[in-house]
Structure 1
Amino acid sequence: MMQSRIRRSVSLFRRSLLHSNNAKYSSSSSSYGVDEILDNEVLVEGIGYTRMAILNRPSALNAINTNMATRLHQFYRTWEDNSHIGFLMIKGSGRAFAAGGDIVALYHMIKQGNMEACKEFFRTIYSFIYLIGTYMKPHVALLNGITMGGGAGVSIPGTFRVATDKTIFATPEVLIGFHPDAGASFYLSHLPGHLGEYLALTGEKLNGVEMVTCGLATHYTLTARLPLIEEQLGRLVTDDPSVIETTLEQYGDLVHPDSRSVLQRIEIVDKCFGLDTVEEIVDALEVAASETKDAWCISTLNRLKEACPLSLKVSLRSIREGRFQTFDQCLSREYRMTLQGISKQISGDYCEGVRARVIDKDMAPKWDPPTLEKVSQDMVDQYFLPLSEFEPDLELPTKIREAFS
C-alpha cells in the first residue's frame, strides 16, 4: 500500500501531467584535508524522522561533481533501507540549489583525454537521478535559488518540489553545445503543449511562479518562510505523502504568472515550437517578429541564433522522442547521446561552448557546423545510434525499480 501511494506521488507527471534521531552527520573543521573537503561537498542533517542532504559547493553554485553524486547515491540507498527514516529533503547552500553538473571539470577531463572519468560522472549522476525517480519514500526538494540542468535532474523526479521567489530554472545546454540531459528529455516533453521544446531550444529561464504554474514545481513559498517549513517538516513522524503535502500547503502561496510570462504566450509557443524542424521554428518566429515587432518574438529568435546549431537539432529530436519513452528509456538514450556528444567524433561543440561561455568568457563560440543549414541528418542521427559493442550502455536496475511513464 505504501509503495503504491509513493508511486502515485513520486512522479510530477502522475500528479499534474545514520540511525538515531536528531543526529547531525555534518562535520566542520578550520583546516580541511582532501577527504574532509570531499566529505563536506554534501552535508547531512538528521532531523527527527527525516534526513536533509545539503549540496555544499556554494562557490561553484553547488555544481554537482562525481564525488557529490556518489555520496548522494550512497546516502539515499542507506536511508531507503532505514525504517527509522520516513522521508527525505534536499537543499543547496548559498544562492543556488544547484547550477547543474560541473561542466568545468568535465571540460578539463575531456581536454586531458580522461574519457573514463567523464563516463563515470554521467553514469553516477544518471543512476542517482533514476533512484530519485523510483524512490520508495517521499522526497522534498527545496529549490531556492539557481536550479539548472543537473540540479533540476536531481529534484524534479522526486515527490515534491518547492520553488521560491528566488528560484531560477533553466535547461541552457544548447548554449554550450550540449543537449538537455539528466532526465530533461522526459520532464520537458511532458510539459503543457510545446513549452518543453521552447525551454530546451532557447535555454530561457522560468521563475518560481512559472515553475509551479506549468507543473515543474509542486509548491511555492517565499524564501523567508523556508526555515519555518524546514522546522515543521522536521517535526513530522510520517512516511505519508499526503501529510507532507498538507504541511507544504499550509505555508505555501497561491500564485499566478504575470503578463510578461511565456506562460501567457502558450498559443504562439505552440504555433512555432510545435513545427517539425528547427528551421521551420526559426522561420515562423521570423515571420511573427517582422509582422508584430513583438519583443518576445525578437528575443526568442535571438536566443535560437546564439545556440549551437547541431545542439538545436539534436535537442529537438530528443524532446520529441522523450514524449513516447519511459523515464529509464530517456536516461539511457541521453547517456548514449552524451557519450556521442563529448567524444568529439561528431563535433567539438561541447568543449567550444564551455570555453566560450565559462572558461574564456568571450561569448563567441565557433560552432561546428556554424549554421543550421550545414548540420546534416547523418550528424543528428549519430547521436541516437547505439554505442559500439565495446561500450556498455547505462545500466539501470529496471527489474528491481520500475520506472514510470
Structure 2
Amino acid sequence: MAEESLNANEVVLAEETGHVSVITLNRPRQLNVISSRVVELVAKYLEKWEKDDDTELVIFKGAGRAFSAGGDLKMFYAGRKDDFCLEVVYRMYWLCYHIHTYRKTMVALVHGIVMGGGAAMTVPLKFSVVTENTVFSMPEASVGLHSDCSFSYILPRLPGYLGEYLTLTNARLSGKDMVAVGLATHFVPSEKLKELENRLLGLNSGDENAVSNVIEEFSIDVLPEEATILNKLQTINKCFCKESLEEIIESFEAEGWNNGNEWIWPVLKVLKRASPTGLKITLRSIREGRNQTLPECLKKEFRLTMNLLRSVVSEDVYEGIRAFSIDKDNAPKWNPPTPGEVSNEKIDLIFKPFSPELELHLPAEGEASRWDGKYEDSVYPSLRENK
C-alpha cells in the first residue's frame, strides 16, 4: 500500500492501494474536528483521485472514536478578530459541492460521532455505512451558528418537517435512525466494519453494483419499528410546520402535555436554551432550502457563515463557543435573549447577497471547469493581504 501522507501526525492520512484510495481524518483526540488544514488536504486528495484514471473507489473514515464532530469551533474563536477563518469557510463550502458531485464511487465508514461539517463528508455519498456506535446531530444553531455545509439542502428533503426538528433541537439520531430517515445507506455492526473495509480494498474496483453487493453482505436491515424518530413524526410535523419560531415553540410545548409525549420536555429544554438568533436564521435557511438547488444553498450558507463570524448583527456565535467549548460553563448570554427580540430586519441583513466577486464561486457545468472556483482564484486572498 502506497501512503501519500507519510507523517502519522498529519491531520489527514491518504493511502492508495490498486484502484482504491482511503482518506482518514486523523485528529482522534479532538474527535477529528475540521480545521483549515483538514479541508485543504481533503480537497487536494479528492481532486487528485477524481482526475486519476487508476482510482475507482474512495473510502472515507475517521481515526479513533469519532468520524468527525464537525468544524473546529476553537479555531473560529481564535480567529474572531481578523477574518482568520475566511479561507477555511470558503474552502469548506467549495469542497462540499465537490463531495456532492464527486465522479468516483465513494464509501463512508461512519463509526462514533458525526456532526455538522463531518456529516457533510458522509451523508451525500453514494454509500454511507453506520454502526450501533454512530451518533448524528446538527448542533450549530445551539451555539449561534446555522445548519451549514449543504444541510440547508439536505435537511428539507427528509420526511415531513424532520429537518426543521433536527436542526432546531440538536436532537441526536442513532445509526439505525439515520438509515431509516435517509441520512445513511447501510447499517453494519461495528465488529464487522474492519472486515468490510478489507473486503472493499480487496475488491479493487469502483463498480457500484460490486461495491453495493459487498456492503450488503455485512449490512443488517433496519425495520421501521426500530426507527424511533419516525414514530414521533406525526407530532413533529404538526409542530415544526408552523411558520415562525415562536409558533413552533408554542405548539411543541402544548403537545408536551398530551399523554405519551413526555419525550418533548427534554427536547424543548434544549430548544429554549439555544441562540434565538441562530434558531431564526437556521429556520429561514431550511425553509428556503426546500426550493433551492444545491449551488444556491451553498452560496447562501457561505454568506450566512461569513456574516455570523463577522458579527454583522450578533456576537452570539462567539458567546456560544465560549460557553460550550472554551469556558464550558454552559451558560451563554444571548443577545438578544428571546426570539421575539430578534427583528426580521436583522435576519434580512444576514441573508443579503454579496457583490458578485465576493460570492462563493462554484464551477460551471462541464468537465473543463470542474475544479474551478478555488479560494486562490477568488478575491479573498487579496482582501486578507490588505487587512
Q: TM-score, normalised by structure 2?
A: 0.92
Mapped partners of 1:392, 1:135: distance in 2: 25
| Residue of structure 1 aligned with 2:124, choices 149, 154, 157 | 157
Contact 1:48 1:235 in 2 (8 A): no
Mapped partners of 1:260, 1:195: distance in 2: 13
Equivalent residue, structure 1, for 2:34? 64
Structure 1, unmatched stretches of 5+, are 1-21, 30-36
SS of the aligned residue for 1:157 comes to coil
Mapped partners of 1:60, 1:267: distance in 2: 37
Following TM superposition, by how much is the alpha carbon of 1:293 offset from its aligned partner in structure 2, in angstroms?
7.0
Residues 296 and 398 from structure 1, CA distance in 2 versus in 1: closer, same or farther, beyond 3 angstroms?
A: farther
Cα offsets for 1:75-131 (capped at 9, x unmatched): 111111111111101100000000001111111100xx221x311011111111111
Equivalent residue, structure 2, for 1:114? 82
| Residue of structure 1 aligned with 2:3, choices 5, 24, 33 | 24
SS of the aligned residue for 2:87 comes to helix
SS of the aligned residue for 1:265 comes to helix
| 1:120-135 alignment, distance < 5 Å | 120-135=87-102
Equivalent residue, structure 1, for 2:234? 267
Equivalent residue, structure 2, for 1:75? 45
Residues 127 and 260 from structure 1, CA distance in 2 versus in 1: closer, same or farther, beyond 3 angstroms?
A: closer
The alignment status of 1:323 with 2:290, answered yes or no, reads: yes
Q: State the AA in 2 paired with 1:131.
A: H
Q: State the AA in 2 paired with 1:106.
A: F
Equivalent residue, structure 2, for 1:397? 363
User: Comparing 394-403 with 161-170, which one deviates more in the overlay?
Assistant: 394-403
User: Comparing 230-239 with 179-188, which one deviates more in the overlay?
Assistant: 230-239
Equivalent residue, structure 1, for 2:245? 278
Mapped partners of 2:347, 2:358: distance in 1: 21
Following TM superposition, by how much is the alpha carbon of 1:302 offset from its aligned partner in structure 2, in angstroms?
1.1
Mapped partners of 1:351, 1:268: distance in 2: 33
Q: State the AA in 2 paired with 1:227.
A: K
Cα offsets for 1:156-202 (capped at 9, x unmatched): 12211111111000011111111010011111111010000000100
Cα offsets for 1:209-261 (capped at 9, x unmatched): 00000000001101110111001100123232121111111110112366682
Cα offsets for 1:284-316 (capped at 9, x unmatched): 112112343732121222121011111111111
Contact 2:18 2:54 in 1 (8 A): no
Contact 1:181 1:334 in 2 (8 A): yes
| 1:4-403 alignment, distance < 5 Å | 22-28=1-7, 37=9, 40-110=10-80, 113-115=81-83, 117-256=84-223, 261-292=228-259, 294-388=261-355, 392-400=358-366
Cα offsets for 1:354-394 (capped at 9, x unmatched): 000010011010011100110111111112101257x6111
Mapped partners of 2:334, 2:66: distance in 1: 29
Contact 2:176 2:227 in 1 (8 A): no
SS of the aligned residue for 1:290 comes to coil
Residues 55 and 122 from structure 1, CA distance in 2 versus in 1: closer, same or farther, beyond 3 angstroms?
A: same
User: Comparing 100-109 with 300-309, which one deviates more in the overlay?
Assistant: 300-309
Equivalent residue, structure 1, for 2:382? none
SS of the aligned residue for 1:239 comes to coil
SS of the aligned residue for 1:44 comes to strand
Mapped partners of 2:7, 2:354: distance in 1: 44
SS of the aligned residue for 1:189 comes to helix
SS of the aligned residue for 1:295 comes to coil
Residues 85 and 259 from structure 1, CA distance in 2 versus in 1: closer, same or farther, beyond 3 angstroms?
A: closer
Following TM superposition, by how much is the alpha carbon of 1:399 offset from its aligned partner in structure 2, in angstroms?
2.8
SS of the aligned residue for 2:253 comes to helix
RMSD value over aligned CA atoms? 1.7
Aligned length: 369
Residues 376 and 257 from structure 1, CA distance in 2 versus in 1: closer, same or farther, beyond 3 angstroms?
A: same
SS of the aligned residue for 2:24 comes to strand
Structure 2, unmatched stretches of 5+, are 371-387
Equivalent residue, structure 2, for 1:17? none
Mapped partners of 2:247, 2:309: distance in 1: 28
Mapped partners of 2:7, 2:102: distance in 1: 30
Contact 2:176 2:226 in 1 (8 A): no
Contact 1:209 1:257 in 2 (8 A): no
